[in-house]
Chain A
Amino acid sequence: MLAATLPKPDEHVEVEAIPHNSRVWQTVVWNDPVNLMSYVVHVFREYFGFPRDKAERLMLEVHHEGRTVVAQGAREQMELHARAMHDYGLWATVREAPQ
C-alpha cells in the first residue's frame, strides 16, 4: 500500500479572511457512532456549500480518521461554525491551528 497519492492534509481547507498577524483557528468535526454518513454529507453541503465530492471526502475523513478540519480562519467565525454543527447534531470543536 502506498500513500503517495494522498492529498496534503490541509489543501482542501477553506481559509477565511484572517487579519494580518492574528492567529489561525480551526473548526474540527469528530466522528461519532450515530450520525449517518448521508446526513453528514448533507450537512457539509447545505451549511458550507461544499460540492458533493468534497463533502463526501470530508465525511470519509471524519469516518476513517476520527476527525477532520472543515474550516479555518478567525476564532469567532470558527465558533459560529461549531455552533452550526452542534445545531445539526454533529460533534464539533474549535482549536488553534497547529503550528
Chain B
Amino acid sequence: MTDRLVVLEITRMEAVHLAGLVTQFADLLTETTDATPDDPALARLVPDAYSDDAEASREFRELTQRDLLDRRSTDAATVLAGLHSISGPTLVTDDEEALTRIAVVELDSDALGCWLRTLAALRLVLASRLGIVDEADHDDDDPRFGIYDWLGYRLDGLVRAAEGA
C-alpha cells in the first residue's frame, strides 16, 4: 500500500527455526493435483468455495487451486530469501551469543505481503497438524504449541507494522 519499509528485528535463532518451517511448508506446496488435496492442512489453504454445490466447487478449484499454491510457493521463497540473508541457509555455529544476536530484515510492501500470507498459512498448517478445532485448544506441554504461539506473535507484530500502529 505504501513504499515505506518495515523493519523486522529477529534473532538468528528465530530466523533459523523459521527458515526450517518455511522450507517444510514449501515442500508441502509441491502438490500438483487439481482435485482436493489429500492432506487436510493443504486442503485448508484451498477450501471449497461452495458449501452446498460440489460441482461449482470443483470448477472453482480447477480455475484457482494451482495459482493459489504457486503464489504460496513464491511467497515462501521470498520469506526464505529474507531469512537466509541474515542467518545463512544452515545453522553453522553453536555460539550461543551469535544465535541470540538480533538481525534485521527490511521488508518493502510486496515482501511484507509475502511474510504476512506465509506466517498466516504456516499457522493454518500447524493448527491442522495439531488438531486445533477450537480457539481454546492448547497443550502447554507440547512444544509445537509454543511454535504456533510464536508464529502468532510474529504475525501480529507484522500486522501492526503494516497498519502503521
**Residues on A facing B (Cβ under 8 Å):** 32-36, 38-39, 42, 45-46, 79, 82-83, 86-89, 91-95
Q: Tally inter-chain residue pairs, CB-CB below 8 A.
A: 76
Chain B residue contacts of A83, Cβ below 8 A: 49, 60, 64, 68
Chain A residue contacts of B133, Cβ below 8 A: 33
Given that A33-B137, A83-B68, A89-B120 are contacting pairs, would A38 and B47 also be in contact in the complex, using a CB cutoff of 8 Å? Answer: no
Q: Check B159 against A79 for contact (C-beta < 8 Å).
A: no
Give the complex CA separation of A48 and B29 in angstroms: 27
- Most chain-B Cβ atoms within 10 A of its Cβ — which of A45, A88, A93? A93
Chain B 129-154 per-residue mask, 1 if CB under 8 angstroms from chain A, else 0: 00011110100000000000000100
Given that A46-B1, A86-B64, A89-B120 are contacting pairs, would A39 and B49 also be in contact in the complex, using a CB cutoff of 8 Å? Answer: no
Instruction: State how many residues of chain B have any CB contact under 8 Å with chain A.
Output: 34
Choice from B46, B48, B159 contacting A93 with Cβ under 8 Å: B48
Q: Check A89 against B132 for contact (C-beta < 8 Å).
A: no
Give the complex CA separation of A44 and B87 in angstroms: 33
Q: Check A42 against B48 for contact (C-beta < 8 Å).
A: no
Chain A residue contacts of B68, Cβ below 8 A: 83, 86-87
Q: Does B71 contact A (CB under 8 A)?
A: yes
